Amino acid sequence: MDPTLYKAAVEGNTGEGDNFLPQLTGDEEIGYQITQKGNTVIHVAARYGHSDFVQRVLTISPALLCRPNKKNETALHVAANEGHVEVVRVLLSEGGREEKQIMMRMTDDDGDTALHKAVRKRHFGVVTLLVKEDPEFEFPANNAGETPLYLTVESNFVGALREILKYCKKPSYSGPCQRNPMHAAIIFKYSECANLLFRWNKSLCEEADQWGWNSLHYAIKLGWKEVVSGMLRWKKSLAYITTGNGDDWTTTFHIAANEGYVTIMKELLKHCPDCWEMLNSQGQNALHNAILNKKKKVVKFLLNSPDYLSLIDETDNNGNTPLHLLAASEYCEQELIKHPRAKNMAFNKKNQTPQDVAMAAKWTPNKGVMIKHLLRIGRFGGRDLKIKVKDKKKPMTQNEKEKRKEEAEKMKDKFMKVAQTHLVVATLIVTITFAAGFTLPGGFDSNPGPNQGMAILIRKAAFKAFVYTDTIAFVCSTSAVFSYFAMAARAALFTENHRTVILLYGLATYLQLLAMAALVLAFVTGMFAILAHSIGVAVTAIGCISFLIYFCMLYMVFNWKSFRSIPAAKLERL
């Protein structure tokens, strides 16, 4: 564009007399007077709000009125986007009715009309001018599926919404994802927009989006009681419209139960007393859903209402009662477990009782409490016992045999490596306890007489305790050594069955831990026997050593538990 012309458009300088930018008078020059984005001189003037300049230019070159830039935006698009009301008024006043309609209905590359631009930027004055100028136009959706009416609601532009509803005779109202403005008003909780739309077109409440959700479904999900009540007063049948697509759908009562809204459930029952009987696509009632979503208030509401007690023993498509689902969940609802209508021995389609389901589910502290209550009132299943026995006797394939043999070898090697370290420890304990048996605390009586060679402290209780514990430590450690030898021999001679090897390892470990504990006790009692006259020193020494005994016993308990945790199925294979 000519620099002088561009500067004049930016500043709104029209010049004086008849010398106003004469280059605009030649049609051959008009095509060259554009910016890099394809904007003409009136695009530039419209952006900066110079209405007089725009009017003067259009007087000289009327063809520029509908000329688009590279984004297919007219000067009206630009003025509407910037909110320049006077520029919009000038543009609408130029040309005939047909030209104005063409200009107002032109869309840019995004499918936006000038009204889209004005609504998106919240320019109320421009919106009013546009809708008054062409009330017959429906203002369709842009490429993103947005109509101006939908955009006013989504941005809570109440004033523009009123103007469109007042002046436009049949405005389009669709939005993205097949939603309508009522969807947007409910989702964003714009109460004033919702009221205006409800008075304008109540049937919007019935229209569903691409996921099958209508405005009532969203109002229930968000817990908007006033809107739910108003819609149901208008049309009670809305409560029975399901939501979802294909094989996955639910009902209004289920949505309220899923969210834990007892007040919404009561409102639905107030208008439609039988809606509690509705089932979802999986054949589940509202109590099923409340348990699945851990909505305790809903569960208590349904259990404490005598009208809805039949929900307790209803089964879904998989044969599960609400008690089955509770058994599989992570919380415990004792009121349902102890309810007289709960069928504690009900079998689902997998032949499982609630007790079976609870035992098969992931363990939690609440699960333990639940199982405890369930076992008091029911028992485990057993209908498929014959099938399980039959399956057990099925012959294994060669690959399964090789895989099982490989697992057994790995487990045997693991135990043998650990046993080597344990054998060294057991041998040391044998050596220590054997030596302690001949170097007794307090020494021997060397005086001539019947007690010569006897232990000096033999009559003290602490000394006797030392002898007992030292003997126990010697016997247990020796037995552990023999067990480790037996392990090695068994592993070398019998390569197929390693179950005995693992059992011997467990026995040896247990004996070795007993020997270690007895060895510590022998040290404590021996110390006390020789320090009996120094009570303070004895108590201090024994107190410190007691910690060692404590930790030793803890290790014994947990090590034995870890050994016992080896699954029985694995031992059966070895």
* Angle (deg, nearest 10), helices 225-234 and 262-271: 10
Q: CA 210, CA 495: separation in Å to the nearest integer? A: 65
The verdict on 467 and 539 lying in the same domain is yes
The verdict on 472 and 350 lying in the same domain is no
The verdict on 363 and 460 lying in the same domain is no
pLDDT given for residue 494 in this prediction: 59
Whether 116 maps to a domain, the answer reads no
Domain count, the chain: 3
pLDDT given for residue 6 in this prediction: 85
pLDDT given for residue 542 in this prediction: 59
Concatenate the DSSP letters of all residues of 323-372 into one string: HHHHHHSSS--HHHHT-TTS-TT---TTS--HHHHHHHSPP-HHHHHHHH
pLDDT given for residue 385 in this prediction: 47
Token pair in block for residue 319: 């044969």
Whether 194 maps to a domain, the answer reads no
Q: CA 14, CA 57: separation in Å to the nearest integer? A: 9
The verdict on 440 and 515 lying in the same domain is yes
Q: CA 218, CA 567: separation in Å to the nearest integer? A: 50
pLDDT given for residue 63 in this prediction: 85
Q: Indicate the residue among 59, 79, 106 that finishes a domain.
A: 106
339, 303 contact by CB (below 8 A): yes
Which of 439, 522, 432 is closest to 478 using CA atoms? 432
Give the H or E element holding residue 322.
helix 322-328
Q: Using a CB cutoff of 8 Å and minimum separation of 24, what contacts does 437-440 make?
A: 437/470, 437/471, 437/474, 440/466, 440/467
Whether 505 maps to a domain, the answer reads yes
pLDDT given for residue 533 in this prediction: 63
Q: CA 242, CA 252: separation in Å to the nearest integer? A: 7
The verdict on 374 and 466 lying in the same domain is no
Amino acid at 69: N
Whether 201 maps to a domain, the answer reads no
pLDDT given for residue 460 in this prediction: 78
Whether 384 maps to a domain, the answer reads no
Whether 191 maps to a domain, the answer reads no
Q: CA 19, CA 329: separation in Å to the nearest integer? A: 86
350 CB burial (10 A radius; 0-12, 13-18, 19+): middle
The verdict on 440 and 516 lying in the same domain is yes
219, 186 contact by CB (below 8 A): yes
Question: Please, which residues bridge with residue 250 across strands?
Answer: 243
The verdict on 364 and 446 lying in the same domain is no
Q: Indicate the residue among 81, 106, 131 that finishes a domain.
A: 106
pLDDT given for residue 547 in this prediction: 55
The verdict on 322 and 418 lying in the same domain is no
The verdict on 421 and 522 lying in the same domain is yes
pLDDT given for residue 507 in this prediction: 84
pLDDT given for residue 339 in this prediction: 78
65, 99 contact by CB (below 8 A): yes
The verdict on 418 and 542 lying in the same domain is yes
Give the pTM.
0.64
pLDDT given for residue 364 in this prediction: 64
Task: Quote the domain boundaries for residue 461.
Answer: 413-562
| Residue whose pair of structure tokens reads 């470990």 in the numeric block | 509
pLDDT given for residue 28 in this prediction: 40
Residue 316 sits in a domain whose CATH number is: 1.25.40.20
The verdict on 508 and 449 lying in the same domain is yes
Distances (CA, A) of 46 to 23, 49, 78, 120, 465: 20, 5, 6, 18, 107
Whether 306 maps to a domain, the answer reads yes
Whether 207 maps to a domain, the answer reads no
Q: CA 141, CA 118: separation in Å to the nearest integer? A: 14
**What SS3 string covers 469-525?**
HHHHHHHHHHHHHHHHHHHHHHHHHCCCCCHHHHHHHHHHHHHHHHHHHHHHHHHHH
Q: Indicate the residue among 72, 106, 140 that finishes a domain.
A: 106
The verdict on 429 and 548 lying in the same domain is yes
E runs forming strands in 381-527: none
* Span 383-422, pLDDT tens digits: 554 444 444 445 667 777 777 777 777 776 777 777 788 8
Residue segments in the chain with a per-residue pLDDT below the cut of 50: 18, 26-31, 385-393, 560-574
